[in-house]
Amino acid sequence: MSSTAPPSRLRRAVSPLELFFDLVFVFAVGQLAEHLHAELSWRGAAETTVMLVAVLSTWALTSFDATFLDVERPLTRRLVLLVMGLGLFMNAQIPHAFADRPWAFVVPLVAILLLTDITAAVTAPTPFLRHHYRRVTVWAAVSVPLWLFGAAADHGPRLTWWAAAAAVDMTGVWLAHPLPRDVLSSRNLVFDAEHMVERIRLFIILQLGETVLTIGTAISAAPVDAATVTAGLGVFVALVCLCGSYFRGGEDILARHVATTADPLLPVRHAVSGQYSTLAGLVALAVGAELAISHPTGHGSTAVGLLLFGGPILYVITQAWWYYTSTGQAWGTRLLACLACAIGGVAARWLPPLVSVLILDAILVVLVLVLEQVHRKVLVTMPVAEGT
């Protein structure tokens, strides 16, 4: 069975529809942060994680569909628009999914999973892709009943059912939905990798932008005094540094590696898989920022330490993992920054939140300054794609 497809339409630019689609799913950042802030407990964190996985899995599946099936095809465009509508309704129910509206969250989620998988299994342009999406549909057939059983269950056991469903969906995305003796071999697959690199780049920017809006809402709700203003500016500096840790040369490494590797789909899959922890880190930071901004001179707490420092750790360690598995470079500095953040998170238990914010800023500013030099050195050693 051939794994190749006609090489036409490669390196297609990201369409306005795809960017519009991404906006619907970054809307979930604020919704997830709202749920975690309202349910600030280990169970609340678990519930937030389950819904985050549901959001990212539907985004990932639909984004790959739009690339493989060509979003310029009328059928694919209609599919993306339908998923947008369902996704908007699903994401709007995040604060209520574990309360009184489980079906309002699950029905659009299940519809997205089945629509994207079955449509691709029937309409993909090559037998190889249609076969792959039949594997994806088998995985959906396992997770969908778990989502439905969870919606029908009471609040207590619902988390167990949905956690199992989320684990199936996320594992499928991570492993490319294998079946026994039937695994995706992507080395010779013609795939618009550069297009997906740009999708990931824009999606990260939108996630960061939505986090800014969430933090801005917290600043708006807080009194205007020196401590609050300093805390708000400090959190903004931290977010700018997280942006700079990737966009000050890091994205060029990703693009260069994808353009020169023999299997461009593999690093793209890894980058998409990393969006789970990237989004989780931004949600945690947003909630930690809300706590710090609302009581900047109050007592320290375990919650502030876990969220304010744990969020950046998730964000940065995801980058470290990707650089280690792809280029083998530019990951050590990130791990050292994560270690420093872990120490800062422990200290935050006894420090006023404002002091914790300033410590976080110091760590991340140093990280960005060092990474700018590291990225430059890595790019010098990397091969350049032919024709560039």
Q: What pLDDT score was predicted for residue 351? A: 95
To 10 degrees, the CA torsion angle through 81, 82, 83, 85?
90
Contact 52, 32 (CB under 8 A): yes
pLDDT at 120: 92
Using only the alpha carbons of the chain, give its radius of gyration: 21
Closest-CA residue to 32 (of 297, 384, 307, 233):
307
d(CA 295, CA 22): 33
pLDDT at 261: 84
138: how many CB neighbours lie within 10 A of its CB? 15
Please identify which residue in the block is written with the tokens 């890595």: 378
126 Cβ contact partners less than 8 Å away, ≥ 6 residues apart: 2, 3, 4, 5
Query: What is the amino acid identity at position 76?
Result: T
pLDDT, tens digit, 9 for 90 and up, residues 13-64: 888 899 899 988 888 888 999 999 999 999 999 999 999 999 999 999 999 9
The whole-number pLDDT of residue 193 equals 83
Element at 98 (helix H, strand E) = none
Q: Are 319 and 245 a contacting pair, CB within 8 Å? A: yes
What stretches in the chain show pLDDT beneath 70? 1-11, 188, 385-388
CB under 8 Å to 251, separation ≥6 — which residues?
201
pLDDT of residue 386: 62
Residue from 30, 20, 10, 11 nearest 203 by CA: 20
Closest CA to 346 of 313, 305, 377, 385: 305
pLDDT at 257: 86
pTM of the model: 0.91
**pLDDT at position 309, please?**
97
197, containing H or E segment: helix 193-221
Q: Are 57 and 71 in contact (CB under 8 A)?
A: no
Q: Please, which residues have CB within 8 angstroms of residue 37's CB and are 6 or more apart in sequence?
A: 287, 290
pLDDT at res. 7 = 40
| Distance (Å, whole) CA 190 – CA 199 | 17
